[in-house]
A and B are shown apart, each in its own frame.
Chain A
Amino acid sequence: MSEFAAIFIGMVLINNFILMRFLGLCPFFGVSKKIGSAVSMGVAVTFVMTIASIATWLIHNHILVPFDIEYMDIVIYILVIATLVQIIELFIKKTNANLYFAFGIYLPLITTNCAVLGITLINATEGYSFTGSIVAALGAGLGFTLVLAMMSGIREKLELANTPKSMRGLPIAFITATLLGLAFQGFGGML
């Protein structure tokens, strides 16, 4: 049990996907101007990460390794993720059209989110068990959502502040990320 807690905390805080591992940056700077959409994105990504982790774990441990074709991992994982995102897209389109339009282009872009492919590769490299991978994916997704939410909260306020012209938009967002990152460094010696 404590092993799972360690994996979880590690993923959420200590080795936070965005601030420490640099995974999932595109949506981080692209989406995060409103807290609502940031959290929705975070939840969507967490969902994809978890399902993808399950699928790829099964494929890795029951097909790739036994048949000695581990080198096919990149191709297969990304196809699985792409298919998953397609299915989710269709599902959302049919059940909640508003949400679908709210996400816009960012929904298919989850396929190219480094965080999703990243967690599947990390699960394989670290050799997590089935439950371990799920815990890791949930942790990673939560950490991702957490930072996304924080960032969008800050950016909302920044829109109203008097930022120097050349700093507006992306540059100040990066500086904000620096400060968030420094704060998260403090989690380093936790475990």
Chain B
Amino acid sequence: MSAKDFLKKAFPVIILTAVVAISVTVLTYTDRMTRPEIEAQKETRTEIMLSEMFPEMSQYEFREEIYTVYSDGDEIGYAFIAVGNGYGGDIEILVGLEDETTLKGITIISQQETPGLGTRIAEPSFTDLFIGLDIADVALRRDGGQIDAITSSTISCAAVVDAVMATAMEKVKLIKASEEGG
């Protein structure tokens, strides 16, 4: 096979390889350009949620899955993420603590509940019920607690309540333990 014949046969592969090479270059470039912004997003999102829950926050620390929130050097609370087993999937909740027995409030980070029904757990009419609540009172009214469930969304509400209660108890134990340890 002469060189010319070879080139003719190999042409399609050469073109394909060239296209792939260009593709890889373009993508690597785009990735380099966008990566900083994408990384930064994660940080900002957490900060925004925490500062909405603790308006006096000036900075926060994140250690062993617990956020400690400060206002000019004073510890003003804690926060952590709880995950509930909702109707349509996981429900991610940011739970804020004023101290070791009282909730500061909750924010629903993400959920896949039924629109118009379960999704109402993200509304203030539900989340406000948790503000200033004693951890011991975090239960649905039917179970002796203080939280009124939203009609037709009991599964979603129960998921939130269970997750907040269980994770809060767990985290408070850790907070007490680390305080005793110094």
Direct A/B contact, Cβ within 8 angstroms: yes
Which A residues contact B (CB, under 8 angstroms)? 69, 71-72, 75, 188-189
Given contacts A188-B87, A188-B88, A189-B87, contact A75 B155 (CB under 8 A): no
A189 touches B30 (CB 8 A): no
| B85: nearest chain-A partner, CB-CB | A191
Q: Which residue of A lies closest to B31 (CB)?
A: A71
**B24, CB-defined interface residue at 8 Å:** yes
Give the nearest-CB partner of A72 in chain B: B27
Neighbouring A residues of B87 by C-beta, 8 Å: 188-189
Q: How far is the CB of B64 from chain A (nearest CB, A)?
A: 22
Interchain CA distance A75-B24 in the complex, whole Å: 9
Q: Give CA–CA (A71, B155) in the complex, Å.
A: 37
The interface bits of chain B over 7-48 (1 if a CB of A lies within 8 angstroms of the residue's CB, else 0) are 000000000000000011001101100000000000000000
Q: Check if B88 sits within 8 Å of A75, measured CB to CB.
A: no
Interface residues of B in 147-180 (CB under 8 A from A): 155
- Distance in Å from the Cβ of A76 to the closest Cβ of chain B? 10
* Interchain CA distance A69-B31 in the complex, whole Å: 9
Bound Cα distance A78, B87 (Å): 32
Q: A-B contact count, CB below 8 Å?
A: 15
How far apart sit A19 and B64, CA to CA, in the bound complex (Å)?
A: 41
Nearest-neighbour CB distance to chain A for B164, whole angstroms, equals 20
Chain B interfacial positions (CB closer than 8 Å to A): 23-24, 27-28, 30-31, 87-88, 114, 155
Question: What 12 new A-B contacts, CB under 8 Å, besides A69-B28, A71-B28, A75-B23?
Answer: A69-B31, A71-B27, A71-B30, A71-B31, A72-B24, A72-B27, A75-B27, A188-B87, A188-B88, A188-B114, A189-B87, A189-B155
State A75–B21 Cα separation when bound (angstroms): 12
Min CB distance B132 to A, Å, is 31
Q: How far is A75 from B87 in the complex, measured between Cα atoms in Å?
A: 34
Closest Cβ of chain B to A148, distance in Å, is 24
* Complex alpha-carbon distance, A71 and B38, angstroms: 12
**What separation, in Å, do the CA atoms of A45 and B13 have in the docked complex?**
29
Smallest Cβ-Cβ distance to A71: which chain B residue: B31
Docked Cα-Cα span, A71 to B31, in Å, equals: 7
Nearest B residue to A20, CB-CB: B88
B18 smallest CB distance to A (angstroms) = 15
- Tell me the minimal C-beta distance from A159 to chain B in angstroms: 35
| Across-interface contacts of A189 in B (CB, < 8 A) | 87, 155
Of chain A, the residue at the smallest CB distance from B155 is: A189
Q: How far is the CB of A78 from chain B (nearest CB, A)?
A: 11
Please give the distance in Å from B146's CB to the nearest CB on chain A: 25
Q: Give the residues in chain A near B30, CB-CB below 8 Å.
A: 71
Contacts of B88 in A (CB 8 A): 188
B27 contacts which chain A residues (CB < 8 A)?
71-72, 75
Which are the 3 A-B pairs with shortest beta-carbon distances?
Answer: A71-B31, A189-B87, A71-B27
List, in ascending order, chain B residues with CB within 8 A of A75's CB.
Answer: 23, 27
- A189 CB to nearest B CB, Å: 6
The residue in chain A whose Cβ has the minimal distance to the Cβ of B27 is A71
CB of A69 to closest CB in B, whole Å: 8
Q: Give min CB distance, B37 to chain A, whole Å.
A: 14
* 15 A-B pairs whose Cβ atoms sit less than 8 Å apart in the complex: A69-B28, A69-B31, A71-B27, A71-B28, A71-B30, A71-B31, A72-B24, A72-B27, A75-B23, A75-B27, A188-B87, A188-B88, A188-B114, A189-B87, A189-B155
- Complex-state Cα separation, A144 to B87, whole angstroms: 22
A188 vs B31: C-alpha distance when bound (angstroms): 38
CB-CB nearest in chain B for A75 = B23
